[in-house]
Structure 1
Amino acid sequence: MSDRDPSDDSEDPNAEVQYHIEVGPGDVADTVLLPGNPERVDKVTALWDDHEEVAQHREYRTATGAYDGEPLSVTSTGIGSPSTAIAVEELARVGADTFIRVGSCGAIQEGMDVGDLVITSGAVRQEGTSKEYVREDYPAAADHEVVSALVAAAERLGYDYHVGITMSADSFYAGQGRPGFEGFEAAGSDALVEELREANVKNIEMEAASILTIANVYGLRAGAVCAVYANRVTGEFRTEGESRAAECASLAAALLARMDEVKREAGVDRWHAGLSME
């Protein structure tokens, strides 16, 4: 871990110690898990071989350790895409190149139970942060290696999961078709969920689209796995499955490290079905 002097803190984006997340080179692994809630960091690291907290500032808590023998970090992002984009930017500046969102979501399709996992293959960019990086018709696509690793992890762990398109919103209430204060309804909110359901969107959350878009713009890898807390079809709600999402993401990170090793041995740049990890 790097030795930091608080007097060196700066909002200069080129400074070694990053202004918001307060980490420097050597503090984080190549792969970083991104939960929203700072309290979820403890639930993630409880699954690891070992860990050390390296920074805590505002909504950003960072710990680095190992899972299944592979180096791994976790940084909380807070709620929503603006704060999440800051985390991705600053983590990339100190060397991280793979990001996996570990979150919670609302499912909008039948047959998706509370506690199931949703692995994002791509996202509807209803949030505004990614639009400040690139034109609106640029796709928010998950990296296929990250998706493959998350699917393999869910299969090995025996967890029920779904793969598909996520919608990322900028608000929990109006932007997700929920009534606001005193029953306020935003224009079009009454039809929002049904329109997304008919388009085969699987779930709604608030961060994935920005992570995927920014990672693609910068040539980095990213994906997302979320536990279903609510099913908007059945009205069921329980805070269940976050440890499963954390374990799936942690194992996926370890699998990605092994996939990278196999690629190096095979002399190829991308993982494909013809390679074996056995």
Structure 2
Amino acid sequence: MSKARASGRTVGGTRSLSLQAPAVTLLFLWMAVPLAMTLWFSFQRFNLLMPDMTGFAGLENYEYLFTDPALWSAMGTTLVLVGSVLAITVIGGTLLAILFQQEFFGRGVARVLAISPFFVMPTVSALVWKNMMMHPANGVLAWVAELFGLPAVDWFSSLPLTSIIIIVAWQWLPFALLILLTALQSLDDDQVEAARMDGAGPLAVFFYITLPHLKRAISVVIMIEMIFLLTVFAEIFVTTSGGPGLATTNLAYFIYISALLDFDVGMASAGGVVAIILANIVAIFLVRMVAKNLEN
């Protein structure tokens, strides 16, 4: 009987593995082949404008990459962009979640309208902000400034990185709101009422009850957003093209410039390897942080 059970488990396990093998193999190839090609090209001399210059380059691409001031400028821009958007979305999402948790007329419609920007494509969002909101002559912000007798601001020339931060934060704020509002709905109302009966004011309730309750949700928002914000590209491409100068060139756009504008595939591949390492370091740190919060 035990032999039959063991045989059944073996047959069932083998059958399960045989069914999973095609999907696992396809997923492995999907990840491994591009990564292997990126690593291989990063050690090659491969510039499309100079097809005769080929061969093994060793660490030349990496040496040139790390001595290029544009790389460090792009990494600094990336950190500022990611940090600013995270701060705006987490703080704004928390406050909006508390607001939309309250009862008021039209709350359902207001929730739908507040979450809808997350479903707008990045390219469309960038075009709307560029041509309808931030245009120095015909934009909504220019019209508002004119109402108050203030000069119109040419956002993408005078405040380029701030403009990108506003556009990206507008897209990701609804995501933070959705996650935090969902988490807030699981907060025990009896606990809040008991604190209020004990004399706790709104600030005390927020800092000692609401915020600790949202700790896990905030960790999840930070983890997911940071992974995606490291690869922001469409908003920069549509609005500023990385300029003026390198003012809005992040790491993703720097790789694009190296690959498709300078045609230096080896240099771009080296930048891609750096981006992969950076993204994995961030992902490992964030996963551990989320796991720690879940354990607590």
- The structure with higher relative contact order (CA 8 Å, sep 6+) is 2
Select the structure that is richer in helix: 2
TM beyond 0.5 = no
Select the structure that is richer in strand: 1
- TM-score computed with the length of structure 2 as normaliser: 0.27
